[in-house]
Structure 1
Amino acid sequence: MTEIVTFAPEKEFRINAETVFQKHSELIKQVLPGSQVYHVGSTGVRGSLTKGDVDLQVRVTQEEFPEAKESLMAMYSLNTGSDQTSFFCAFEKEDEILPVGIQLTVNGSSVDNFRKVTQFFCEHPSYTEAYNHLKMKFEGEDMEEYRNEKSSFIAKILSTKEYEQLSKRMDLYEKVKFVEGETFLTIEETKNLTHSEMVELIDYMRIDPFIRSVKNVIVLVNSKFNSEIESLLGNHGFELREENITVRKDLNNISIKEDVRYSFKSLNEISTSDFKRVWKESMVNSLNAPSSLNVDEQMRSVEVELGSTYKASCLVAYESKRHLGVVMPHIEPGTTNEGRLFYFGLVQSERGKGKSKQLHKQALEILRNDFGAAYYIGSTGKDNIPMLKTFQNSECTIVESNKVYKRKV
């Protein structure tokens, strides 16, 4: 029996599509915490026509692929109409508010282009319009004939100069780390770039439509780069805010004074307003550069970055019944066992009393025991001597220093 294809504007599905994507992205990251999950396909491109199904690309390494495939097979049905290889496997789920397709791919493989093609359409409306015309041509027609025509159209896109340039840009982005919030973007791990790649990154920050649209953009420039990079950033509207020191500690051995123990309450036990009140107190006269986000925006970024379990990471520390400050332990998204503290700070009245040393060690213990972290990565401004001494007391090792540049609004 001939399968007929029909289309509708993605706007008609937008709310449900985003709901479905967020739901399944979170489900997948729970079983594959080291994976990258993207909303791909036409429901992820504004102004496109779509069949109304929601596609997700799940990217893993070659070593992770077999286990990832097994995990997804326990959650979804295999798409028997799609090829299955050692670097690609497709799944589907029909019993959703919109049909779901999962494309599991190995990073850098020949089929690792779903997110790139989706981004290409987002950045090139003329190609989206041409794709829409193709779809309208096959409205109510044979699905197989449409798929053949679609394959030819996508193949032509992959051979264009515009796609080649976008692909090169996204490959460079793979070498650094993007931390995204609703109103900010931080680019980290520039130590992985060569000098010429850093120059390219700065140019991409100027032309990339997504980066240009973000209100607050921060880039951490590794200390290995020279003054030429600093000048380029200045020419592109960035200014130096501070210099950060990054440390690391393996969490297999933490020595804590058992006779001095602070207690904690999470957002599961206290109100959001009470937590934010203590958090704001902890920020007063901090030795680190002030955030460009207010406390409400920072709270929202915690929710976005950490997902539905964020409340367990929002802790107020107490000595007896008196609050000391805020500790926010979590596993870094995209990793399985990297522990970080989204925020660590004492209220002003409790500083200078040696309490941060014990509190920091207890925070590391929470990362290990409650979050399953194997190691800790932390950072602070080079002029924050008390925090640097706290790192030293916790036996952390300095691994790098970065200059923090923020784009001027």
Structure 2
Amino acid sequence: MKSFLTSKERDVDLKLLDGRPYYLAAENVENLETNDDLDLFISRMEELAMKERVQHVTITIDSSSAHIHKLKKNLYVNKSRSIEYSRDLNLESFTFNYNSTITFSSAAEVGITRFLDIWENAMCSSLNVPSLYTIEEQYEGMKQEVGAGLGTIVHRVGLHLLQQKGASYYIGSTGVDNKPMQQIFRNNDCRRSREVVTFIKSLQI
């Protein structure tokens, strides 16, 4: 949602992910210089959320940021704590070997219902904090954001596909208690960049 952000907010790499009508999610707000800048952004984001009848807004912020107290004063509640990892995709071409019996299919190929069943079953055993949304709501939100033993291999294939599509870097995150996923990031040479906290506020009754 670059058009929503002011030039000053874009200059400090503030991001607003559009998952309407289920959520709006802001990132990198710690880059805003002053409390007044943060207050103005929160006010505008909540105004948009109310107008669009968005259920929740979330703000993910560096865990060391001095702005955290301001979020709490604005009735944002701590939802989860995560670790971010990143990797420069320009450094090398990805190669990977995997069992030839493993195949990959798109959601369109397997059908949306089957895809969502697989996604929901996978999330059941996740060590991350459970989502507030149904699997269908998560899927619709994801489409708004990105446009319409095997963990390490699958993650590496994902990095390869991103590189093929022209991405220059990768950023991923997982909960602080999800040690297996953290190991997958390390296995694929992703570097730990920071720890972040996600705050949430419900706007619709």
- Which bin holds the TM-score, normalised by the shorter protein? 0.7 to 0.9
The correspondence for 2:119, drawn from 272, 279, 292, is 279
2:56 aligns with: 216
1:374 paired with 2:168, answer yes
> C-alpha distance in 1, partners of 2:111/2:99?
29
Matches within 5 A, 1:4-403: 170-174=6-10, 175=12, 176-182=14-20, 183-194=22-33, 196-197=34-35, 200-202=37-39, 204-206=41-43, 208-213=46-51, 214-226=54-66, 229-251=67-89, 252-259=92-99, 262-307=102-147, 310=148, 354-369=149-164, 371-403=165-197
Deviation at 1:172, TM superposition (A): 4.6
Residues matched between the structures, number: 195
Q: 1:357 to 1:261 in 2, by over 3 A?
A: farther
Give secondary structure in 2 for the equivalent of 1:362: helix
- What TM-score do the two structures reach when normalised by structure 1? 0.43
Q: Judge conservation of contact 2:32–2:38 (CA < 8 Å) in 1.
A: no
Following TM superposition, the consecutive aligned residue runs of length 4 or more in structure 1 with deviations greater than 6 angstroms are none
| One-letter code aligned to 2:167 | A
> C-alpha distance in 1, partners of 2:154/2:182?
14
Give secondary structure in 2 for the equivalent of 1:249: strand
Deviation digits for residues 365-403 of structure 1 (CA, Å, limit 9, x no counterpart) = 12223x222321111111111100000000001122211
Deviation digits for residues 62-96 of structure 1 (CA, Å, limit 9, x no counterpart) = xxxxxxxxxxxxxxxxxxxxxxxxxxxxxxxxxxx
Ranked by relative contact order (alpha carbons within 8 Å, sequence separation 6 or more), the top structure is 2
> C-alpha distance in 2, partners of 1:261/1:219?
41
| One-letter code aligned to 1:200 | D
Deviation digits for residues 168-190 of structure 1 (CA, Å, limit 9, x no counterpart) = x8345433110011120110122
Q: Judge conservation of contact 1:262–1:359 (CA < 8 Å) in 2.
A: no
Q: 1:235 to 1:385 in 2, by over 3 A?
A: same
Indicate the RMSD between aligned Cα atoms, in angstroms: 2.6
Gap regions ≥5 residues in structure 1: 1-34, 39-114, 116-168, 311-353
> C-alpha distance in 2, partners of 1:266/1:222?
34
| One-letter code aligned to 1:364 | L
**Structure with greater Cα Rg:** 1
Q: Judge conservation of contact 2:19–2:141 (CA < 8 Å) in 1.
A: yes
Gap regions ≥5 residues in structure 2: none
Q: Judge conservation of contact 2:86–2:172 (CA < 8 Å) in 1.
A: yes
Give secondary structure in 2 for the equivalent of 1:405: strand
> C-alpha distance in 2, partners of 1:177/1:204?
11
| One-letter code aligned to 1:184 | Y
Deviation digits for residues 304-361 of structure 1 (CA, Å, limit 9, x no counterpart) = 2333xx3xxxxxxxxxxxxxxxxxxxxxxxxxxxxxxxxxxxxxxxxxxx22112211
Give secondary structure in 2 for the equivalent of 1:237: coil
Give secondary structure in 2 for the equivalent of 1:383: coil
Give secondary structure in 1 for the equivalent of 2:108: coil
Deviation digits for residues 16-38 of structure 1 (CA, Å, limit 9, x no counterpart) = xxxxxxxxxxxxxxxxxxx95x5
Give secondary structure in 1 for the equivalent of 2:109: coil
